[in-house]
């Protein structure tokens, strides 16, 4: 009994970024924990993902054949249980995603394992595995131990670990899987694309937000274009929404939305009133651009630059071409 079991995730034929990140997470403790690193991928044609998962440090890729291309929490749970029973890992890593959270805790129940969710730090202490996660709106960090557990299930926060680059030499094997008793209780019906205009700052991971510093409604489209180019969701402060320069769903703050999934927040021309900070100060990385070097936004920002937002936008546009 040893080693790490990674559960890969894919949606509509595309492997989730988080799957490679999990390999990075495994590498953080592989040496101390010992044993092989195995990646499990379940699906109707699991082999198509094998190549992308074959990264340095991975010892084995387990392919579990299912009869449905699409995610089913019960099937994922059964596949991981089968792999766990077969290989007895000390650590199971799952992405903290919509799909991951749908079965990770169920595994913890079935295995009676240690469990922690949304983990961004993994280490091995004298007492065994130790995971670090955020608590209370990420105001504190929590270190968790798993005394007496021979196996620990963790869901890992996206982009917390860097995936190893390059190509590995993992063995590719098939994991026998029986799905009797699961079939028929859950049926895939189809996907719907998110409406193009759909703005949800509470779910955006990357937000570029504008404040009164943009000065005029006619400057807004320029920042909207910049946000799109960067792949960011466009947010704003209350005055911008109140002036009708942007629809209300863009507003971040106490009276708007809390950027609860955000990892990177760029605040342009926002002074950082308490009401705005309420919606964003917890974000891991905040870049603030404001002419006033004493603006309260700099008390919560990670990086700051006291410059004009238009000069900054010019330079940023040049930089990304």
* Smallest distance from another protein to CB 125, Å: 7
Residues shown for the chain: 321
Burial pattern 266-285, b for ≥16 Cβ within 10 A else e, equals bbbbbbbbeebbebbbbbee
* Smallest distance from another protein to CB 63, Å: 22
- Please state, in angstroms and as integers, the Cα–Cα distance from residue 162 to each residue in 9, 22, 32, following that order: 17, 8, 18
How far is it, in rounded angstroms, from Cα 176 to Cα 184? 20
Please say whether the beta carbons of 246 and 236 come within 8 A.
yes
Residue among 196, 184, 200 at smallest CA distance from 259: 200
Cβ proximity to another protein: between 39 and 288 the closer is 288
Helix (H, G, I), strand (E, B) or coil at 305: strand
Cβ proximity to another protein: between 172 and 182 the closer is 182
How far is it, in rounded angstroms, from Cα 281 to Cα 262? 10
* Smallest distance from another protein to CB 54, Å: 20
Cβ proximity to another protein: between 53 and 301 the closer is 301
Cβ proximity to another protein: between 39 and 226 the closer is 226
How far is it, in rounded angstroms, from Cα 104 to Cα 77? 8
* Smallest distance from another protein to CB 173, Å: 19
Helix (H, G, I), strand (E, B) or coil at 184: coil
* Smallest distance from another protein to CB 291, Å: 13
How far is it, in rounded angstroms, from Cα 249 to Cα 17? 27
* Smallest distance from another protein to CB 48, Å: 20
How far is it, in rounded angstroms, from Cα 116 to Cα 304? 34
* Smallest distance from another protein to CB 157, Å: 10
- Please state, in angstroms and as integers, the Cα–Cα distance from residue 88 to each residue in 41, 76, 92, following that order: 17, 17, 10
Local structure of residue 281 (DSSP, 8 states): T
**Within 13 Å and on the Cβ side, how many CA atoms surround 196?**
1
């Amino acid at each position: 009994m040893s080693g790490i079991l990674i559960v890969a995730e894919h949606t509509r034929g595309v492997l989730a970024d988080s799957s490679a990140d999990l390999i990075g997470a495994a590498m953080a403790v592989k040496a101390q924990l010992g044993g092989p690193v195995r990646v499990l991928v379940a699906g109707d044609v699991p082999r198509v993902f094998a190549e992308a998962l074959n990264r340095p440090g991975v010892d084995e890729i387990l392919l579990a054949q299912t009869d449905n291309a699409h995610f089913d929490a019960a099937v994922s749970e059964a596949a991981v249980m089968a792999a766990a029973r077969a290989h007895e890992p000390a650590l199971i890593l799952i992405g903290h995603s919509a799909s991951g959270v749908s079965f990770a805790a169920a595994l913890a129940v079935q295995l009676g394992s240690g469990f922690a969710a949304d983990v961004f730090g993994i280490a091995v202490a004298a007492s065994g595995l130790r995971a670090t996660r955020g608590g209370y709106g990420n105001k504190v960090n929590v270190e968790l131990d798993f005394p007496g557990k021979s196996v620990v299930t963790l869901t890992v926060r996206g982009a917390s670990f860097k995936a190893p680059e390059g190509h590995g030499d993992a063995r590719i094997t098939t994991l026998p899987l029986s799905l009797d008793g699961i079939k028929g209780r859950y049926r895939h019906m189809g996907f719907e694309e998110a409406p193009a205009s759909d703005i949800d700052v509470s779910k955006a991971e990357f937000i570029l937000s504008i404040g009164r510093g943009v000065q005029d409604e006619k400057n807004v489209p320029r920042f909207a274009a910049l946000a799109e180019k960067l792949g960011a969701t466009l947010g704003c402060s209350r005055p911008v929404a109140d002036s009708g320069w942007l629809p209300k769903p863009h507003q971040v703050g106490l009276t708007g939305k809390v950027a609860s999934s955000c990892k990177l927040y760029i605040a342009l021309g926002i002074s950082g009133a308490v009401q705005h900070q309420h919606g964003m100060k917890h974000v891991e990385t905040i870049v603030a651009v404001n002419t006033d070097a004493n603006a309260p936004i700099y008390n919560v920002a990670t990086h700051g630059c006291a410059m004009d937002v238009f000069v900054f936008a010019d330079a940023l546009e040049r930089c990304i071409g």
